[in-house]
């Protein structure tokens, strides 16, 4: 772990500065939170899984033409990334209804959506990360209309790439959350992590609706076997890319 002072500590990661102001170090913690940190715990080995999975998926996307903040993995829990100015909006893409979409619309969990649903949430824990309409995004001046279109297009492209990737791992990509930032040149690039903390992943080899869950929902919903599920995601991904 870096000996420097933390730049920022989030719920699952710590950001440290490096000697180069354009490069940051991301450290992955085992700490897990859910329901806007009302539920707290630890998932043993989560930091390693999320670091490995994030690096694997970000470099896969980078190779497919998606600009990301990834530089390189430097230890089991650490990756170097480009310093970006994070856009305070969480971009969620949903292929299958689950989670808050079901709670807020009454759609049954597991219903396949006619097309991927891209949604924007305010990145603000104090306010509970609320859903944003187009008009609210514009009102809060979080992004411009053309940046919003760019975020949506990038997200749909990432979704298509990751759906294909996970399908080859016998995993269904139900939904996931992305964060973007502006790099030194003001270009929008993919930031943050992509892991079982930020994706809903269902095992295609299992049909039972609870047993198939391979992501943080196991922790949120006290389904047990949390560590095993995270390890299995890592194993499938490593088996595919190696």
Site residues (vs its own copies, CB under 8 A): 101, 103-107, 113-114, 117-119, 122, 124, 126-128, 130-136, 139-140
CB of 106 to its own copies, least distance (A): 6
CB of 88 to its own copies, least distance (A): 11
Give, to the nearest 10 degrees, the angle between helix 46-63 and helix 226-241.
30
State whether residue 60 is helix, strand or coil: helix
CB of 186 to its own copies, least distance (A): 25
Number of C-beta neighbours around residue 85 at 10 A: 11
For its own copies, which is the closer residue by CB, 86 or 113?
Answer: 113
Partners of 72 in the β-ladder: 80
Strand boundaries in the chain, DSSP class E: 8-9, 13-17, 23-28, 31-34, 39-42, 70-75, 78-82, 85-86, 89-96, 112-122, 131-132, 171-182, 188-191, 199-203
For its own copies, which is the closer residue by CB, 41 or 128?
Answer: 128
CB of 216 to its own copies, least distance (A): 22
For its own copies, which is the closer residue by CB, 4 or 134?
Answer: 134
H or E element that contains 102:
helix 100-105
């Amino acid at each position: 772990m870096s000996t420097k002072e933390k730049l920022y500590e989030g719920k699952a990661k710590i950001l440290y500065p490096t000697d180069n102001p354009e490069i940051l170090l991301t450290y992955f913690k085992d700490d897990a939170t859910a329901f806007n940190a009302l539920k707290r715990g630890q998932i043993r080995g989560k930091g390693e899984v999320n670091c490995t999975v994030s690096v694997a998926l970000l470099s896969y996307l980078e190779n497919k033409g998606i600009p990301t903040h990834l530089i390189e993995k430097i230890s089991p829990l650490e990756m170097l990334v480009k310093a970006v100015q994070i856009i305070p909006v969480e971009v969620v893409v949903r292929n299958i209804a689950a989670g808050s979409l079901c709670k807020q619309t009454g759609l049954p969990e597991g219903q396949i959506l006619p097309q991927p649903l891209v949604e924007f949430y305010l990145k603000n824990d104090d306010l509970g990360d609320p859903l944003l309409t187009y008009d609210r995004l514009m009102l809060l001046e979080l992004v411009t209309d053309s940046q919003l279109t760019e975020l949506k297009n990038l997200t749909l492209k990432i979704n298509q790439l990751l759906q294909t990737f996970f399908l080859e791992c016998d995993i269904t990509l139900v939904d996931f959350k992305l964060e973007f930032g502006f790099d030194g040149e003001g270009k929008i690039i993919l930031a943050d992590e992509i892991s079982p903390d930020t994706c809903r992943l269902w095992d295609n080899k299992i049909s039972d609706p609870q047993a198939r869950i391979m992501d943080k929902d196991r922790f949120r919903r006290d389904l047990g076997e949390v560590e095993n599920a995270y390890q299995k995601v890592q194993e499938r991904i490593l088996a595919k890319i190696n």
